[in-house]
């Protein structure tokens, strides 16, 4: 019931409540000294000097706008609401940089136990552990940040429900992953990120049952990410341990030095089951593993409209364990003539795979030279003569492509992350010159 619907005469206590002033959302500003000073009121003309001073004072609905300069990170423990989130953001046209860990942890930003907090527009490089850490939280948004050469991860989260990680650049993490979503966090959205050059996985989702909770990440949406040159120390472009009932669509993975996409169970509370892998383009480097890796009872998964290619001398499109075959629905993919059900000890051609499993009856083999505009130049749009054009299955759960182009543009859906358009102006989600 809204305040306007209350009757003033109902109870005396209501008069006291209504007489209490309602909190008003405020906009605060932070700038480096000498313009910034924590003795200031935090206004546009008299900003505060440090992020932690702002973090210690914000309340639901407040926005902190940060001007260009170098800053120590912040430990954020205040929460917003659905209607009044707390926002830390770069001021318009500004590029603030976090050059030292926050006062409490070895990360740039640390968000702990919070709800409805947004962090967007920061450059966070070279932190001891992660650029941004968010744990035991819900409805956190991490958007338009750049994290490079951090000690362990670019972005790390744990036990976070309803998480949005969107349009970030996470690169060259020294020990592990670009984006790591862990510990029983449900309904994460990982969208539109550029993830490259990380030592381990590009995007890692791991239920980590040993840390508590059910160890399952469910109802994830991973879409429209460009993921390349990851995995020199192992891992996958997209790694899924204990991930269930999730949608992985329109992602471009290339130059993967380990696996492309993996579904398995090691630390998760259960196998990676019931997932849909749709319209992804996956290309593994010559020193990599298999384009798609499904192990440990990863059953009832759907694999449609994907390009799965491998530059390795004998590995190929799909490595699936026998206990992951039940319920597999794989079709309308552009693949290599290499499949295995025993870790690569034996290799099946596409025809043998079709005969043995009944899968991929509409799939076909194709090379990058046949499929793409310029694979050597990392342009993975479909060429005018690509066999992937109009060769896919119509999917209402993939209404557009990686660049936002509506599907279909022709008689049927195209295979892979890109839908072929007449003018072909989109590359990796941005307009090409």
Res. 255: pLDDT tops 50 = yes
Flag whether pLDDT at 424 surpasses 90.
no
CATH H-level, domain 26-375: superfamily? Single-stranded right-handed beta-helix, Pectin lyase-like (2.160.20.10)
- Radius of gyration for the alpha carbons in the chain, expressed in angstroms and rounded: 24
Task: Retrieve residue 270's tokens.
Answer: 């259960």
Are residues 98 and 124 in contact, defined by beta-carbon separation less than 8 angstroms?
yes
User: Is residue 275 scored above 80 in pLDDT?
Assistant: yes
Task: Give me the helices (H) in 271-380, please.
Answer: 350-357, 368-371
Q: Quick check: pTM over 0.85?
A: yes
Q: Where are the beta strands (DSSP E) in 144-216?
A: 146-148, 153-161, 164-166, 169-171, 179-182, 189-191, 194-196, 203-206
Q: Show the tokens assigned to 102.
A: 């926050």
Structural domain spans, the chain: 26-375
Higher pLDDT, 2 or 135: 135
Report the candidate in 163, 188, 190, 189 with the shortest Cα–Cα distance to residue 178: 190
Contacts of 344 by beta carbon, 8 Å cutoff, 6+ apart: 290, 314, 315, 319
Residue 429 has pLDDT above 90, yes or no: no
Res 14 pLDDT > 90 = no
pLDDT of residue 4: 33
Q: Give the pLDDT of residue 23.
A: 58
- The beta strand positions in 305-427, using DSSP E, are 307-310, 318-320, 329-331, 334-335, 339-340, 364-365, 372-374, 379-382, 426-427
Q: Would you place residue 426 in the very low, low, confident or very high pLDDT band (cuts 50, 70, 90)?
A: very low
What kind and span of H or E run contains 13?
Answer: helix 12-19
3-class SS of residue 377: helix
* Residue 427 pLDDT exceeds 70: no
In three-state secondary structure terms, 25 is: coil
Please report how many Cα atoms fall inside a 13 Å half-sphere around the Cα of residue 243, on the Cβ side. 30
Residue 430's pLDDT band, with cuts at 50, 70 and 90, is very low
**Which residues, including other chains, have CB under 8 Å from residue 7's CB and lie 6 or more apart?**
none
Confidence of residue 428 (pLDDT cuts 50, 70, 90): very low
Are the beta carbons of 309 and 368 closer than 8 angstroms?
yes
């Amino acid at each position: 019931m809204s305040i306007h619907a209350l009757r003033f005469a109902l109870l005396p206590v209501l008069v006291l409540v209504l007489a209490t002033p309602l909190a008003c959302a405020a906009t605060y500003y932070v700038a480096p000294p000498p313009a910034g000073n924590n003795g200031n009121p935090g206004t546009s003309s008299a900003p505060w000097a440090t992020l932690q001073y702002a973090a210690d004072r914000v309340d639901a609905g407040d926005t902190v706008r940060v001007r260009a300069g170098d800053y120590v990170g912040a430990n954020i423990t205040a929460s917003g609401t659905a209607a009044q989130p707390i926002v830390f953001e770069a001021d318009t046209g500004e590029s603030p940089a976090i050059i030292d860990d926050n006062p409490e942890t070895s990360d740039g930003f640390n968000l702990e136990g919070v709800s409805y907090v947004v962090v967007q527009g920061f450059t966070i490089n070279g932190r001891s552990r992660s650029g941004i850490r968010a744990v035991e939280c819900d409805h956190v948004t991490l958007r338009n940040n750049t994290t490079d050469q951090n000690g362990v991860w670019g972005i790390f989260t744990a036990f976070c429900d309803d998480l949005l990680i969107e349009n970030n650049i996470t690169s060259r993490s020294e020990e592990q992953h670009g984006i790591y979503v862990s510990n029983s966090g449900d309904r994460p959205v990982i969208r539109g990120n550029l993830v490259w050059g990380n030592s381990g996985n590009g995007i890692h989702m791991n239920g980590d049952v040993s840390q508590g909770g059910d160890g399952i990440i469910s109802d994830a949406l991973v879409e429209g990410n460009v993921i390349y040159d990851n995995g020199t120390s192992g891992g996958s472009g997209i790694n899924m341990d204990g991930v269930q009932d999730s949608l992985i669509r329109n992602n471009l993975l290339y130059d993967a030095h380990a696996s492309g996409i993996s579904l398995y169970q090691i630390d998760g509370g259960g196998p990676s089951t019931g997932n849909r892998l749709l319209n992804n383009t996956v290309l593994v480097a010559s020193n990599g593993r298999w384009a798609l890796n499904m192990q440990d009872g990863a059953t009832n998964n759907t694999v449609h409209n994907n390009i799965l290619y491998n530059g390795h001398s004998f590995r190929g499109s799909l490595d699936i364990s026998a206990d992951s075959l039940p319920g597999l629905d794989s079709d309308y993919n552009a693949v290599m003539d290499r499949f295995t059900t025993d870790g690569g000890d034996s290799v099946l051609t596409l025809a043998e795979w079709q005969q043995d499993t009944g899968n991929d009856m509409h799939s076909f083999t194709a090379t990058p030279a046949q499929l793409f505009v310029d694979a050597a130049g990392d342009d993975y749009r479909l060429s005018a003569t690509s066999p992937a054009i109009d060769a896919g299955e119509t999917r209402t759960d993939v209404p557009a492509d990686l660049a936002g182009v509506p599907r279909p543009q022709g008689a049927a859906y195209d295979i892979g992350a890109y839908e072929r358009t007449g003018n072909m102006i989109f590359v990796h989600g941005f307009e090409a010159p």
